[in-house]
Amino acid sequence: MKNLIVNADDLGWTPGVNRGISEAHRNGIVTSTSLLANGCAFDDGVRLSRALPRLGVGVHLNLSDGKPVAPPARVKTLVSEAGDFSCGPETLLFRLTAKSLDTKDVEIEWSAQIEKVCAAGIRPTHLDGHKHVQMLPGLFGIALRLARKHGIEAVRISHEASSLRAALTGGSESKSVMLKQGVQDYFCGIAQTGVLSRKGVLQLLASLPEGTTELMCHPGYSDAELRNTATRLQTSRQTELEILTDKEIRKSIAALGIRLINYQEIGALGT
């Protein structure tokens, strides 16, 4: 059986992003999302998720953008003098290697993010990472430990299956070995972040393997709040929204017998 999780990252970032994710679920193929606990539109994201009972909601673990959820004094190696997150993934990796970043601070902050989401009445279906930060050396174990602590059954493994990447881009890598990902069998979407195409999604669906695949996406609207952030994903979010609500894509999923699920439904399917 072919199962597909379509996860929209960044719920809670801005009202426009939230609205796009909601539309991509109501009128399209998005089945799952991940919530930024420190997003400026967190409360709006919680409100929207409550109105969408079939939308799985995970926690989008963050160390790169905005302010921490924990008091800055408790996570000193993660923040600037102004109390903001101060490092992108590359800098975080360098600091981890140089041992100038205290992983205890990471655990404190991620725990606070998860607890904030849970306190809002959401039972997280999974953990993933903003800019895939959970995959940095020494940090994936923290994510697993916190998942067990909070009864969260899945953590995204962001290793993109090369054959699925080829399908999304229209390339040919038929001899590439697909990477088993634990809870989700396959993962894709990194290479197409910001440049997802309708043709690529149709090709992905046609080549989808047996098992459970996650397609990461970033639908939304570029509102004033988003334009005031450093993200490169601006107009591409609305393009993705159009793709994810495309009628031909929805018809293709039905014709190919692909089941749209979220992380919470994996165990029930026995996959």
The predicted-structure confidence for 6-16, as pLDDT tens digits, reads as follows: 999 999 999 99
**Domain carrying residue 24:** 2-269
Sequence-separated (6 or more) residues with CB below 8 Å from residue 57: 11, 32, 33, 34, 35, 49, 117, 122, 124, 125
What is the share, in percent, of the chain residues with pLDDT greater than 70?
86
Tell me, what's the pLDDT at 190?
Answer: 78
The CATH number of the domain holding residue 186 is 3.20.20.370
Q: Is the pLDDT of residue 101 over 80?
A: yes
Q: Please give the model's pTM, rounded to 2 decimal places.
A: 0.89
Q: Is the pLDDT of residue 229 over 50?
A: yes
Q: Which amino acid is present at 2? A: K
Tokens of 63: 């160390």
Q: How confident is the model at residue 242 (pLDDT cuts 50, 70, 90)?
A: very high
Q: How many domains does the chain have?
A: 1
In this predicted model, which residue has the larger pLDDT, 61 or 182?
A: 61
pLDDT (tens digit, 9 = 90+) per residue, 163-207?
Answer: 666 666 655 333 322 233 345 688 887 767 756 888 989 999 999
Mean pLDDT within 155-162: 78
In this predicted model, which residue has the larger pLDDT, 161 or 76?
A: 76
Q: How confident is the model at residue 269 (pLDDT cuts 50, 70, 90)?
A: low
Q: How confident is the model at residue 148 (pLDDT cuts 50, 70, 90)?
A: very high
Q: How confident is the model at residue 114 (pLDDT cuts 50, 70, 90)?
A: very high
Tell me, what's the pLDDT at 72?
Answer: 95
Q: Is the pLDDT of residue 221 over 60?
A: yes
Q: Is the pLDDT of residue 236 over 90?
A: no
Poorest-pLDDT segment among 52-56, 118-122, 191-195: 191-195
Mean pLDDT within 78-95: 89
- Unique residue bearing structure tokens 């991509």: 24
Q: Tell me the average pLDDT of the chain.
A: 87
